[in-house]
Amino acid sequence: MVKTHQGSVTHTWEATKADANWASINEDEEGNLIASHSSSQSLADQIRQRRKRLIQLDHAQSSKRILRDMIRYLYVVVDLSEAMYEKDAGLGYGPNQTRLNVLLNLLDKFAQEYYDQNPLSHLGLVVCKNGEAEVLSLLTGSKRSTLTAIGALKEGVSSGLISKNFGKDAGEFSLQNGIEVAGRSLGHMPKHGSREILVMVGSLSTCDPGDVLVDSLPRLINARIRVSCVAMCAEMHICRKISEASGGVMGVALDGRHLQDLLMNFVAPPPALKKDNEDDDHLTCDFVAMGFPKRTTEDFPTLMHTVSSTGSGSVTRDNKLFFGRTAYECPRCKAKAAELPCDCAVCGLKLVLAPHLARSFHHLFPVPPFEEVLESTQIASLDVDKSSVKVLPPITSSSCYSFDPPAKLGFQSDDKEMKQIDIDSYLLLSSKDCDRVCFSCLKVIGVRKIVNSKAKKGKPSKKILEEDGADSLRFECPDCKNIFCSDCDEFLHETLHNCPGCLCR
């Protein structure tokens, strides 16, 4: 909701121009609509809006210290109804670019990032079609098992085994059946981990056998199961009610990039739900017994276990036995496991490695959000004394230039002053010497590069390399006061989870 200049409260879409959306839509040769958002706003503005959404929605991007659960049990409920086989110009364009194809491609990336950032957590899949729900993949800590299930689902959709005639026989989506099937499995998970359900829905209605708010919601709250929904088309009121009541998040995708951002927000662990009769001053933590197995290699194959679905440490029906030479030996019962992390199939001890704990604990100490440094607040333009500092040209994937030594590199600032600096590899230029250089990748930010090159007739000529609008964005770490570019800002917050400037201190 926004307020107009007259003070009346209206919807956000009413405050925009009527022809703003149609101006960014084009048609191809066949008359299909193609949405192009790049013409309406620059890439720098898109990066600013994305950072703003991440700070508002993703708790890992905020500077607050939040209590989190390091072990997560997450079920993703995928809508396979008839509405998912429709093409959506806002999500992308292609010969078979339906909502379901877009979602399955994003789920593949989400599963890889989820296991990378949460090595101790488990992930499962539930599919809904024809008003029914079915478990596609049980909760498992194996990335290979989950990616195999997603790949099989892709192959079934493309070959028509799941639904024929472009989803005409896929039926309707059932929200209640989806969360009921996932909730029954999550109810058997240990209490020291967070129980979550993520519903990816593209339908505008739900076909339920009963009342979700009366029958299913109280059981979810009693079992401490958090339900979050991401709508690909439009918001359903019942999804928002369940999300808000269970402590989850409700989001509606605006385009394909926004859908990816909403889905990737669930990679980081959410804030832990407050337990019953627990105050903020008397928070309790549960201790989990873990073992660090030893990797052994035998001369002859031995029997080992691979558990793709774990509950309270008992062997499930997906437990497989096979012979192998290399295995991980449980320190308690000496049983052998094929991969880590997992629960021991004999004694139920959680088997992990030290890197798994390190990757899980970085969510407790997130990197604070960097502040953007505007051009008006620039401290000084590039001013380097070539007698004391020797500059190495930045070599990155986005700006990679070759120089024949001895060469000279010129930087031109706003006042059009040209300075030639000898290039050498003895010293590197850092953001401590200049606020125009990224501290991480040594990329010159927001400065026109002028390179001396030889012409055909032997006369020197100047080659001007213009910077893109996104490359002019500069961000400053609030702790170490170093400058970073937009690419490094995204990499440090979403992948590395560490600031190199703060580590150097």
State the pLDDT at residue 25.
Answer: 60
- For residue 421, what are the β-bridge partners? 409
Residue 201, helix vs strand vs coil: strand
State the pLDDT at residue 466.
Answer: 42
Select the more confidently predicted residue: 352 or 505.
352
CA distance 212 to 155: 33
State the pLDDT at residue 163.
Answer: 77
The most confident of the ranges 33-37, 327-331, 414-418 is 327-331
Beta-carbon count within 10 A of 108 CB: 16
Q: Give the largest CA-CA distance in the chain.
A: 84
Q: Domain boundaries in the chain?
A: 2-21+32-40+64-264, 290-361, 371-504
pLDDT-above-90 percentage for the chain: 29
State the pLDDT at residue 462.
Answer: 45
Select the more confidently predicted residue: 296 or 168.
296
- Which residue in the block uniquely carries the two structure tokens 């497989």? 320
Q: What is the overall mean pLDDT for the chain?
A: 75
Question: Full-prediction pTM beyond 0.75?
Answer: no
Q: Is the pLDDT of residue 450 over 70?
A: no
CA distance 172 to 168: 10
Q: Which of 349, 311, 348 is nearest to 185 (CA)?
A: 311
State the pLDDT at residue 242.
Answer: 95
State the pLDDT at residue 124.
Answer: 94
Rg from Cα positions in the chain: 27
Residues 6+ apart with CB under 8 A from 313: 343, 344, 347, 348, 349
83 touches 205 (CB < 8 A): no
Please give, one letter per residue, the 3-state secondary structure of 241-262: HHHHHHCCCEEECCCHHHHHHH
Overall average pLDDT of the 473-481 stretch: 88
- Cα separations in angstroms, 321 against 74, 86, 316, 339: 26, 43, 12, 13
Cα-Cα-Cα-Cα dihedral sign, residues 274, 276, 281, 282: negative
Q: How confident is the model at residue 114 (pLDDT cuts 50, 70, 90)?
A: very high
Amino acid at 84: M
The most confident of the ranges 123-127, 184-188, 269-273, 394-398 is 123-127
State the pLDDT at residue 311.
Answer: 38
Each residue's pLDDT tens digit, 328-366: 999 999 888 888 888 888 888 889 988 888 888 777 777
Q: Which of 262, 227, 231 is nearest to 241 (CA)?
A: 227
Q: Tell me which H or E stretch contains 129.
A: strand 122-129
Q: Is the pLDDT of residue 261 over 70?
A: yes
**Upper half-sphere CA count for residue 491 (Cβ side, 13 Å):** 9
Q: Is the pLDDT of residue 181 over 80?
A: yes
Q: Tell me which H or E stretch contains 49.
A: helix 43-57
CATH superfamily for 2-21+32-40+64-264 is von Willebrand factor, type A domain (3.40.50.410)
- Which residue in the block uniquely carries the two structure tokens 């052998």? 336
CA distance 227 to 244: 8
Each residue's pLDDT tens digit, 214-260: 999 999 999 999 999 999 988 999 999 999 999 999 999 988 888 99
State the pLDDT at residue 80.
Answer: 93
CATH code: domain 371-504 is: 3.30.40.10
Each residue's pLDDT tens digit, 312-325: 333 334 457 778 88
Residue 321, helix vs strand vs coil: strand
